[in-house]
Structure 1
Amino acid sequence: MRRLLNTLFVLTEDAYLSLKNENVIVQVGDEKLAAVPLRSIEQILCFSYKGASPSLMGKCVEFGVNLSFFSPRGRYYCSILGEKNRNVLLRREQFRIADDETRSLPIAKSFILGKVFNCRWILERAKRDHAMRINVERVTQQSTLLHSAFAEIEGCSSISELRGIEGNAAKNYFLAFDDLVLRSKDDFYFEARSRRPPLDRLNALLSFVYTLLTQDCTAALQGVGLDPYVGFMHVDRPGRVSLALDLMEELRPVLADRFVLSLVNTGAVKPADFEEQENGGVFLNEKGRKVVLATWQKRKAEELTHPFLNEKMPWGLVPYVQSLLLMRTLRGDLDAYPPLMWK
């Protein structure tokens, strides 16, 4: 159980939530883990199989506390909202900002600033930790190009221009990505990003893990009351979770790319975990997917100190915390959206 941003996170999968004297009671079996005054919190995000009592749900409706339910792995189920808190005002504001480029551009810039910062820091960490095993000259060159993108992002005047800057930054980052592979380079090599289908094992891993991260970002946005389909940078398309794709930009390098590299560099995945199709596409097989999913859950349980909040939390909570920060920015509680800028 954690409290961040006036939000109660219930992370114990066997926990049951009930109500006593206007307090949220968190318990496992007969053991009471915590009692939190309901009036002191704004929302509850519950990652438990057991759920909550009807009396607590009713009191949340009465007090205007958003109660959202997820599976322990982060799949969004539903939310309990009071009549005074249907998120309509928040979503109307989200839609207004999405339709006004002068208001959506600063938020989109923050997403991409976070992404470029995190991409560059991954390259800088590789230079620091593995200077004898990588092409330092090439990594330094690409890191310098990423650094120059900061001023371009700050100075750009349109979403389309920002997309171009982001595309160039991603290209520069991936030009050094193969240098970050430290073992089995004959089996796990990277020449360029390929999708639909991925054409090599490393691209297959990236595509699969990006899908997992997209699901986590979608669930997080739904849980805080935002519409994951209406974004500020990615174009609206039927079935596309544009805001989730916006949010995950800053998280790709630190949550997905680092995870993929650790799978390869630790030998957790092997060539036998992949299969090649007739069209040249390479995909994880069933055994490979099980390995990646099990390791993904372990990685999400590892902790970091959030650079903006200065509080420790599991990596798995990061999409939810960033969604809360985004929600508060749209609501006017924060002057600007603070992207995750990890070191």
Structure 2
Amino acid sequence: MLRHGHRVLRYSDDFAVPVTTHAAGERVLELIESALRELDLELNEDKSRIESFDEGVDFPGQTVTARSQAGTTTYVSPLEATVYVTEPGSSIRSRDGRLRVMHRDRQLLSVPYDRVKQVVCTAPTTLTSPFLRRALEHDIEVVLTEEDGDFLGRLHGTGSPGVELRHKQHRLVDKRAEKVDLARIFVAAKIANMRTGLLRAARSGHVEDIEMATDRLRAARGTALVADSEASLMGTEGAATRDYFAGLGRILGDTWAFTHRRRRPPPDPINAMLSFGYTLLTQEAVSAVELAGLDPAAGFLHEMQRGRPSLALDLIEEFRPIIVDPVVLSLSRSAKVSPAGFAQVEDRGCRMDRDTLHLFLAAYERRMLTVAHHPTGRRISYRQALTTQARHLADVIDDRTPVYTPMTWR
């Protein structure tokens, strides 16, 4: 069965083979009967049948449907982690080969440098010279944001820019047809993942009035795949995004008063969490594309603009609905955070208080460490998937792979 390209789900002498059509199921049954005859075995006809996931498949002792979800979530234990510094007035120091976060005379954290991948400072923090030198020596990124998530800047080592690959990237950006081809894939994947996200969220919350939004998203994905210009593609993406966030608003209900996406400044708690999460994800994508030898500023969907990591923004399109948005939905619907954990700040919009920020960062890290199916067939964390997709995109740009395959949510 494996040699013929089929997945076999086995429990003792019971097994199931997923197929896409009834005709494919018939062919699989014939193949199984033929294989068993060679082993002098017979298929139990009374227990063998083709069933639809829409109606439910019994295997073994469990009924699995198209709406079934995994009962457990798998996480990875990373060798390197991100350190978040959220306490105003903290200082990051270096002593005895360890990164130390201090607040006045109290030590908040002490960790070996080889266990740190990135340091994100969301509050005013003193970065000592010894720490900065060690961070550069150990290739540790330091990212500075405002407390509301607005990106300020990042410090990182020189690394290897991959001049030849970046030259190919820049030339490809100048080729309109090839540029639009990649942009179509980014947008179609984002729309597909938004639709899946809506369906998942609606099922778990028993929300039944989003069929119109999901139908429009399905149609928008088809439109995006045949768009012949950047303008028409962006128009399709904009309309689909509005439908998606309107659907999220219905799922969240009246408690959160969320109706649509607004960024600068975020006017409400949901927008505040989304903006903060997208900032974190973008900076991880910048690191991923640089590790792949690409230029973060030269994108295919997002136009080049001073100070904007356009390629990183391209890369996260497929990941926004499967990383940040589920974190926001989970926190909001489980009552782990409440509107009382946010405050309006003049000229800065809505912001998370300290406790809510800690909850959000913990949930975001768990999501990034969650293991998921990747198009390569492997199960890897979302953080690893981001890096893998950046390298896959580099292979496409370098003509080592013919087409970019996005990561889509099942």
Category of TM-score, reference length = shorter chain: 0.7 to 0.9
CA distance in 2, matches of 1:218, 1:287: 28
1:130 aligns with 2:216: no
2:233 corresponding residue in structure 1: 162
Counterpart pick for 2:402 among 316, 324, 335? 335
Residue 205 of structure 1: CA displacement?
0.8
Distance in 2, matches of 1:292 and 1:71, equals 21
- The residue correspondences of 1:198-237 to structure 2 (distance < 5 A) are 198-237=266-305
Q: Does the CA-based 8 Å contact 2:140-2:156 persist in structure 1?
A: yes
Tell me what 2:194 maps to: 119
Structure-2 residue corresponding to 1:49: 113
User: Residue 298 of structure 1: SS of its match in structure 2?
Assistant: helix
Matched residue, 2:79: 12
Q: Residues 104-137 of structure 1: CA distance to partner in whole angstroms, max 9, x if unpaired? A: 1111111111100000111222343333xx2x23
Q: Which has the higher helix share?
A: 1
Whether the 8 Å CA contact 2:166–2:293 is kept in 1: the answer is yes
Moved more, 203-212 or 261-270: 261-270
Output one character per residue of 1:258-284: Cα deviation in whole Å (capped at 9) or x when no partner.
111011122222333211123482111
Distance 1:78 1:337 in 2: 29
For residues 230 and 325 of structure 2, what CA distance do their matches in structure 1 show?
25
> For residue 314 of structure 1, what is the aligned residue in structure 2?
381
Tell me how far 1:80 sits from its aligned partner.
4.9
Deviations 1:153-175 (A, max 9, x none): 12211112111110111011111
What letter is aligned with 1:321? T
* Offset of residue 214 of structure 1: 0.7
TM-aligned CA distance change 1:143 to 1:208, over 3 Å: same
Q: Which has the larger radius of gyration?
A: 2
Greater relative contact order, per chain length (Cα 8 Å cut-off, separation 6+): 1
User: How many residues are aligned here?
Assistant: 273
Identity %: 32
Q: Indicate the larger mover: 122-131 or 237-246.
A: 122-131
Distance in 1 between the 2:238 and 2:200 partners? Answer: 22
Structure 1 position 227, deviation (Å): 0.6
Corresponding position of 1:259: 327
Question: Are the aligned partners of 2:343 and 2:350 in contact in 1 as well (CA < 8 Å)?
Answer: yes
1:224-254 C-alpha deviation (Å, 9 max, x unpaired): 1111111011111110011111111111111
Cα gap change, 1:280/1:78 in structure 2, threshold over 3 Å: closer, same or farther?
closer
Please say if residues 297 and 310 of structure 2, whose CA atoms lie closer than 8 Å, have aligned partners that are also in contact. yes
2 CA distance for matches of 1:310 and 1:156? Answer: 29
String of CA shifts for 1:285-323, please: whole Å, max 9, x gaps. Answer: 2332222112211221221121x1111111222211110
**Unpaired runs of 5+ in structure 1?**
1-9, 15-47, 52-67
Cα offset, 1:78, TM superposition: 3.5
Shift of 1:72: 11
Q: Is 1:152–2:219 an aligned residue pair?
A: no
Question: Any idea what the Cα deviations from partners look like across 1:65-98, whole Å, max 9, x if unmatched?
Answer: xxx945699x8844654xxxx5111000100111
Aligned residue among 245, 255, 262 for 1:194: 262
Matches of 1:197 and 1:338, distance apart in 2: 34
- Written as runs of structure 1 = structure 2, the 5 A alignment for 1:37-116 is 49-50=113-114, 69-70=139-140, 77-78=156-157, 80-81=159-160, 87-116=162-191
> Are the structure 2 counterparts of residues 95 and 322 from structure 1 closer, same or farther at C-alpha, using a change threshold of 3 Å?
same
Q: Say if 1:302 and 1:315, in contact at 8 Å, map to a contact too.
A: yes
d(CA) in 2 for partners of 1:261, 1:294: 14
| Cα pair 1:69 1:79 within 8 Å, conserved | no
- The equivalent residue for 1:55 is none
| Residues 144-196 of structure 1: per-residue CA shift (max 9 Å, x gap) | 001111221122111121111101110111111112226xx42x231111111
4+ runs of 1 displaced by more than 6 Å?
A: none
The answer (yes or no) to whether the contact 2:224–2:236 under 8 Å persists in 1 is yes
More divergent stretch after superposition (217-226 vs 285-294) = 285-294
* RMSD over equivalenced CA pairs, Å: 2.5
Counterpart contact for 1:49–1:72, Cα < 8 Å: no
Distance 1:49 1:239 in 2: 29
C-alpha distance in 2, partners of 1:246/1:288? Answer: 29
From 340, 346, 367, the counterpart of 1:278: 346
